[in-house]
Amino acid sequence: MKILVPVKRVIDYNVKPRVKADGSGVDLTNVKMSMNPFDEIAVEEAIRIKDAGKADEIIAVSVGPAKAQETLRTALAMGADRAILVETDAEVEPLAVAKILKAIADEEQPGLILLGKQAIDDDSNQTGQMLAALMGRPQGTFANTVELDGDSVMVKREIDGGLETVKLAMPAIVTTDLRLNEPRYASLPNIMKAKKKPLDTKSPADFGVDITPRLTTSNVSEPPVRQAGEKVADVDALVAKMKALGIA
Ligand code: AMP
């Protein structure tokens, strides 16, 4: 059984994004980029499933610029077996990514496709769901626990105030939530070994997918600046202030 893991190169989660002066988007000049954190969780889960003897091969896929090779090499260093870069410098929306992933899934026939629940740059939370719809296959989103059981996969989903367990017939699409696992760091020897693992480069046209955007971004703005706080001398002064503001 193969597992397909789509990994996106995004602005590193520790970086404070800067909005471009003209409000057209986030300035990515000289900004540190990394693998989307939810995708690291997906790679980790795929490795654990393979280590448990329930999968034979993990294929990492990224749709993005040539530099997304670095993201794929990270996935390979963590433990993926091979990688596919679908190279484009254009901004690719979730629907186009889902169409490309469907074409790859048609070729590779994975039993499981493990995506992140959302990319932290666009916060779309759409690709996994669109892929499931395009493939006509079941989806388990916001996975907290994933257990393979023969031809099906049990997914405990994070929902408001609790967990919901769903059973999906494979091939299935699963999207990872934060508490699914703690991703490993790639060791230096594995980073070296990853350089020799196969990485194929394709283009969206190879899959016959038109990636022309369907959305135009009208404006991107910074969040409002927070007002400075005020130090109070003691608890009595704090309570008095809160009473004056009507919050105590
Ligand atoms: P989104 O729907 O954009 O929030 O992304 C959800 C998930 O889809 C991500 O966590 C990735 O697993 C996958 N994904 C989205 N865009 C890409 C991309 N350009 N390349 C590879 N995987 C992607």
User: Ligand 1: distance of its center to the CA of 119 in Å?
Assistant: 5
User: Ligand 1: distance of its center to the CA of 105 in Å?
Assistant: 15
* Cα distance between residue 74 and residue 112, in whole Å: 20
Mutate to test the pocket of ligand 1, among 4, 5, 7, 8 (most ligand atoms within 8 A of CB): 8
- The chain-wide mean pLDDT, for the chain, equals 96
User: Ligand 1: distance of its center to the CA of 231 in Å?
Assistant: 44
Read off the pLDDT of residues 195-217 as tens digits, 9 standing for 90 and up.
Answer: 999 999 999 999 999 999 999 99
| Class (C level, CATH) for 2-217 | alpha beta
According to the 3-state scheme, what is the secondary structure of 26-76? Answer: EECCCCCEEECHHHHHHHHHHHHHHHCCCCCEEEEEEEECCCHHHHHHHHH
Residue nearest to ligand 1 atom 17, measured at CA? 8
Cβ proximity of 91 and 122 under 8 Å? no
User: Ligand 1: distance of its center to the CA of 72 in Å?
Assistant: 13
- pLDDT band at residue 179, thresholds of 50, 70 and 90? very high
Q: Is the CB of 156 under 6 A from ligand 1?
A: no
Whether pLDDT at 166 is above 90: yes
pTM greater than the 0.95 cutoff: no
Whether pLDDT at 248 is above 80: no
Q: Is the CB of 38 under 6 A from ligand 1?
A: yes
Residue 225 has what pLDDT? 87
Residue 223 has what pLDDT? 86
